[in-house]
Structure 1
């Protein structure tokens, strides 16, 4: 066993090679000691180099790890304020970040970790600085002859860092003349850190952490004979993660060739298999109509793999609405052994344009070696001249996968969807475009037939989604708000037209008026008081989502009357700020906003804090509608009224993803009526007609949400009462008439 027999480079760069295959596995196979000090450590790292680690453990190897704890904003503030002893806060934070495994591979991974600690073959210490955080990345690998390799760089000890990030590692060998001094300095630095003699750091031991890992995860004797064809599981809550999320890519197979992960082949659901099979039968063109949270992304990637297996030369473009969804897709793409080009303006791959050019060129001149490439990009970047120019140069078959595909029916998108893509896949829970028959027809004409239709009711029945209780909260407009609502409605009537299909449509100015009118409903003043009462019982609870409208709230001096000045509302308080104040200032809850103003890094921190219950509530605007995956949400308060089925169906879907311990979800929907329903009973038919359009819109959402709720009876009684008072039949709800703009 000697490290000297291994060819070792002086530098490794993750995306220009495979550091697991070329560095970690061969060195650990010959080693007896592995020392590592890093900012973050995840148990997923052990899975990455499991081949080398198994040999290392057979050699009697031991691991010493120094890491820093993940502390929430509340932890740090409590330490500053002296609410609790610092060590208690840190210890609680460490234990809080331990989760239960959800599948067999996660059990094996954590069982190995627990056994290593129980047998004193792995020890963990925590590093703290007086200010800031410990962020060094230093490692020492040593063999039985005393030869050692010291390395440092940008990479943390996690699967994401090893296999997906752009990281660099500098290496120094103790037996090489020009490197041994650097190697010795780094070895001595680690020993000082481990022994607590580095004056800049404080090194702490937490026996409770190690005891808790053993208690939770030690199941059987350690299994050190892992198969080299190690299969990666989805990155969920079964990881011991001290701060960094993970992404998956197997280092043990040829890279960038689409492959079905074993865990997906083993656990694929019938409806997912049906979707892929039908898509292949239809010439690799079609639509996956699947409820939010039922695995559209993984099913789509399974389809990409099937298409490549049939064609062997393929250029794939995966197009999504937003930048944060690109990153979310990438986390799944790499599980299918694909190394994607991540293409958008602020991509972490700053050279993505060069990568795309090279991929197109290589596929043309080196087809046997570079038969496949995949681009994950945003709608905006996909439509750019640069990407469209590159598409013209592609000689291979092209596959287009469009997520949230209802967006592709819009005019700007339709213009660039031509015959270049001979293979096409649309993914959406709501493929039909609200109020746009022409755009909907285009989507079906371009993408083809629906290969699978897996709706919400069936998904809940088959336990793929969580059942829910629905609580409609009735509020009414103030007299001033209703007066302005009626004024805008009358003006809208002057800007309507009848389309060729016979539908009533608004011209461009009429659409602006409609937006103004919808903002009155979304920002209705009475919603805030109703929200205060509803949230009160939840002020000590977690996993709460509040949907706000992109609107302002006007506080009338006399809410029962007076004129509503829409222009004045533009200088009112934004609803999201008002709600955040109620939660944070009045209720004393830990809350964070999730809007377009937060960058991707901030959103990741918010999401992680929310999952770990360090954050009680997220207050969001529209950007959370499409694709964002926060399955731990248990309770949603929907203040933002919408008449678009696509939007409110997606908002409901955000809450219904499964999560351990989540037996059912709760949805509080703030339903806005023109006037107090008791007062309406005494109005004339003409007076009732002035608010009937608003009532019809709200009833459509009420009926949709109530239909499959656990407590549907209560809601159905309310719906029946509203329909009777306003004299609205079921047929009226389904008819869109010219009079609706006036009513």
Structure 2
């Protein structure tokens, strides 16, 4: 039986049992009336953000004026670095404080700051208390995402609700939301309302299993109170509760060049070259010169043209690895559009892709942006989506040389009207067919910016190059000679497949012999001296040879070079160092790069292959190249990692360790000479653009003379 309604309080309201966006205004129909008669409000909700806090202030002003109070539980907006730090045992209070301060670090936008100031006054007056909740179970951290709320009035009546809405600008004013309402004086509702209130009380007292509910950080509390004191003379917040403030909607749905970005002349030239070729072509630009931003400038100009024609743009970016996809997502967001990352389970990205493409078909969205790994791009589900696109499609291929392989070049979408390939080295090593396939699909090189020009114009920094000659020891020389004889027999038998990446017998022998050079023990001794002489320097990278030191057939493999380097740097020299390899989890990689970039934590990153393509580490100043790579792409990209510009950086140093057999080793002269040509070509490529080229020539002259290679 329903009780008689009161003339005041919650019972006086004509509250529905359910509110849904298509049936009424959740704000006007429920929140506003409840705030006007309640004396307390308890709310557990999703993310804690500065915008949501500002909106709270506008909703509880009437409540506070009547002496009412509010309790708020929200989930701190923990990023991957925060979560990893907590899981590693860092003090979680300091991590939560860091996350809370980050959320409060808003730009000087009047409405939000006014709202935060009002909150500060409410906290100072004891009208508002905030706690933060997150999932903490078995050493893992998760997001507290429950949404419930309770209003009580001075008569003791209760209204509880649960539902999808967050008290954010989107949750209350923009999104499609629904809530279920339970009135404490209505039969059938009362027990559910009391249960919800009990759930909240257990949360507030931190008695909910697997959840950790912490008090609001003192530093953040003090910051809000101070802001309230500073903004007391400003116009107080309006009493229209959570009505949506004036905002520019849809701004994030078009590409635009960021206001803070200065477009360089060479970037304008590159975009112009691509547009003049009808939106097809290859940008062959040195590593570190901003190919990503240049391509997004081109996409923005294309989107502008299409918008004038009232056409939408479908943008698909393809990148080799997940961490590169993450970097692209950030870059695209800087240009005003939130892209869909396409990797891992299709359950995460497929519904979003289908929804946004449907919006394009109905004229409700001017652009859909997707960033996919090569693997997801090649998957059947994404290929099916691509085949059904009828709108203008732009494909941007990062590190495009990878797409020239037989596995990828046959699946590049033929319905892509616009195509843009990015690579410092688009030519595929020992694969003319793959290179030709890239040109056939994307078009020719429409703009080229070499390393020398990039350094001259200031896009990359200047550098010194120090080749280090290392002679093989007796054991290494014996294995090297044995492998060279087997290689000679393959050549004598007519084998012409001299690609060291191939699976032929000759290819395997070439790789193993290159491994002898790459893992030469003498490199570790020289590295110890080089890094030891720079023990007080930051921003150092060491590139190690892959795998372990080769050995004779039937013998166990030798030591792993990465472990040797970590021992030298970390144990012998006592320098803060950390490995960065393919097994390093993606989340931990971000933390490592952040620690490296601070310049007060990690002195040395020790990498094995993983810092080749696309990783953005502009602060790196000193590089040690232990791996003997004759693949131009690898050593060009490694050099490019070190030449990126950064604040306070105007110069770099590159140490290149070149291993050679000792004088008099019984090796076929021509085969030996052929090998040295590749090593010396790399040294010459590095040296000719360095600031100390003369010193490089002087050091290498005896070796060139010995093998009749003075012309190099």
The verdict on a shared fold, with TM-score over 0.5 as the criterion, is: yes
Cα drift, residue 222 of structure 1: 12
Change in CA separation of 1:576 and 1:350 when aligned onto 2, cut-off 3 Å: farther
Pairing 1:653-732 to 2, within 5 Å after superposition: 653-675=640-662, 680=663, 691-729=672-710, 731=711
Change in CA separation of 1:523 and 1:302 when aligned onto 2, cut-off 3 Å: same
Is the contact made by 1:258 and 1:304 (CA closer than 8 Å) also made in structure 2? Answer: no
Q: Which residue of 2 aligns with 1:324?
A: 323
Is the contact made by 2:539 and 2:619 (CA closer than 8 Å) also made in structure 1? Answer: yes
Q: Which residue of 1 aligns with 2:7?
A: none
Pairing 1:109-258 to 2, within 5 Å after superposition: 136=144, 181=194, 184=197, 188=201, 192=205, 252-253=249-250, 257-258=253-254
Is the contact made by 1:360 and 1:390 (CA closer than 8 Å) also made in structure 2? Answer: no
Q: Which residue of 2 aligns with 1:524?
A: 520
Q: Which residue of 1 aligns with 2:265?
A: 270
Q: Which residue of 1 aligns with 2:549?
A: 553
Distance 1:601 1:222 in 2: 45
2:347 alignment partner, SS class: coil
2:532 alignment partner, SS class: helix
Q: Does 168-177 or 318-327 show the bigger shift?
A: 168-177
Distance 1:8 1:280 in 2: 58
Q: Which residue of 2 aligns with 1:738?
A: none
Count of matched residue pairs: 649
Cα drift, residue 352 of structure 1: 3.3
1:644 matched to 2:631: yes
Change in CA separation of 1:357 and 1:72 when aligned onto 2, cut-off 3 Å: closer
Change in CA separation of 1:117 and 1:66 when aligned onto 2, cut-off 3 Å: farther
Distance 2:380 2:330 in 1: 27
Q: Which residue of 2 aligns with 1:478?
A: 473
Q: Which residue of 2 aligns with 1:560?
A: none
Cα drift, residue 543 of structure 1: 3.3
1:316 alignment partner, SS class: strand
Q: Which residue of 2 aligns with 1:558?
A: none
Cα drift, residue 427 of structure 1: 0.7
Is the contact made by 1:138 and 1:150 (CA closer than 8 Å) also made in structure 2? Answer: no
Distance 1:223 1:451 in 2: 56
Pairing 1:378-389 to 2, within 5 Å after superposition: 378-389=373-384
Change in CA separation of 1:709 and 1:10 when aligned onto 2, cut-off 3 Å: farther
Q: Which residue of 2 aligns with 1:605?
A: 591
Q: Which residue of 2 aligns with 1:561?
A: none
1:692-714 CA deviation, whole Å, 9 max, x = no partner?
Answer: 33332222222222233344443
Is the contact made by 2:566 and 2:577 (CA closer than 8 Å) also made in structure 1? Answer: yes
Change in CA separation of 1:630 and 1:274 when aligned onto 2, cut-off 3 Å: same
Is the contact made by 1:130 and 1:201 (CA closer than 8 Å) also made in structure 2? Answer: no
2:624 alignment partner, SS class: strand
Is the contact made by 1:322 and 1:379 (CA closer than 8 Å) also made in structure 2? Answer: yes
Q: Which runs of 5+ in 2 are unaligned?
A: 1-9, 65-69, 124-128, 238-243
Distance 2:626 2:275 in 1: 42
Change in CA separation of 1:339 and 1:486 when aligned onto 2, cut-off 3 Å: same
Change in CA separation of 1:95 and 1:709 when aligned onto 2, cut-off 3 Å: farther
Distance 2:341 2:638 in 1: 27
Cα drift, residue 285 of structure 1: 0.4
Change in CA separation of 1:133 and 1:565 when aligned onto 2, cut-off 3 Å: closer
Q: Which residue of 2 aligns with 1:572?
A: 558
Is the contact made by 1:319 and 1:379 (CA closer than 8 Å) also made in structure 2? Answer: yes
1:334 matched to 2:333: yes
1:498-536 CA deviation, whole Å, 9 max, x = no partner?
Answer: 99xx99868833222221222112111222222223233
2:610 alignment partner, SS class: helix
Is the contact made by 1:580 and 1:591 (CA closer than 8 Å) also made in structure 2? Answer: yes
Distance 1:222 1:633 in 2: 48
Change in CA separation of 1:131 and 1:509 when aligned onto 2, cut-off 3 Å: closer
Distance 2:274 2:87 in 1: 52
Q: Which residue of 2 aligns with 1:595?
A: 581
Distance 1:591 1:575 in 2: 15
* Equivalent residue in structure 2 for 1:284, among 279, 289, 293: 279
Change in CA separation of 1:227 and 1:309 when aligned onto 2, cut-off 3 Å: farther
Change in CA separation of 1:130 and 1:621 when aligned onto 2, cut-off 3 Å: closer
Cα drift, residue 283 of structure 1: 0.8
Change in CA separation of 1:183 and 1:134 when aligned onto 2, cut-off 3 Å: farther
1:271-313 CA deviation, whole Å, 9 max, x = no partner?
Answer: 2233223222211101122222322222222323333333424
Change in CA separation of 1:387 and 1:455 when aligned onto 2, cut-off 3 Å: same
Cα drift, residue 586 of structure 1: 3.5
Change in CA separation of 1:418 and 1:487 when aligned onto 2, cut-off 3 Å: farther
Is the contact made by 2:120 and 2:225 (CA closer than 8 Å) also made in structure 1? Answer: no
1:622 alignment partner, SS class: coil
1:624 matched to 2:627: no
Distance 2:420 2:164 in 1: 41
Distance 1:202 1:387 in 2: 41
Q: TM-score, normalised by structure 2?
A: 0.71
Distance 1:56 1:461 in 2: 58
1:240-262 CA deviation, whole Å, 9 max, x = no partner?
Answer: xxxxxxxxxxxx3166x442144
Cα drift, residue 626 of structure 1: 0.8
Distance 2:603 2:558 in 1: 27
Distance 1:210 1:186 in 2: 25
Q: Which residue of 2 aligns with 1:310?
A: 305
Pairing 1:18-57 to 2, within 5 Å after superposition: 45-46=49-50
Is the contact made by 1:475 and 1:527 (CA closer than 8 Å) also made in structure 2? Answer: yes
Q: Which residue of 2 aligns with 1:245?
A: none
Change in CA separation of 1:96 and 1:360 when aligned onto 2, cut-off 3 Å: closer
Distance 2:131 2:213 in 1: 10
Change in CA separation of 1:382 and 1:407 when aligned onto 2, cut-off 3 Å: same
Cα drift, residue 651 of structure 1: 1.1
Q: Which residue of 2 aligns with 1:343?
A: 342
1:378-426 CA deviation, whole Å, 9 max, x = no partner?
Answer: 2233233443344333333332211101122223323334643232110
Is the contact made by 1:548 and 1:619 (CA closer than 8 Å) also made in structure 2? Answer: yes
1:474 alignment partner, SS class: strand
The structure whose Rg is larger is: 2
Distance 1:724 1:214 in 2: 76
1:429-463 CA deviation, whole Å, 9 max, x = no partner?
Answer: 11122333343333233322333323333434444
Change in CA separation of 1:205 and 1:378 when aligned onto 2, cut-off 3 Å: closer
1:2-26 CA deviation, whole Å, 9 max, x = no partner?
Answer: x9999999899xxxx9xxx999xx9
Pairing 1:503-514 to 2, within 5 Å after superposition: 508-514=504-510
Q: Which residue of 1 aligns with 2:393?
A: 398
Cα drift, residue 428 of structure 1: 0.9
Cα drift, residue 650 of structure 1: 0.8
* Equivalent residue in structure 2 for 1:427, among 422, 425, 434: 422
Cα drift, residue 582 of structure 1: 3.1
Q: Which runs of 5+ in 1 are unaligned?
A: 80-85, 231-251, 555-563, 734-743
CA RMSD in angstroms, aligned pairs only: 5.7
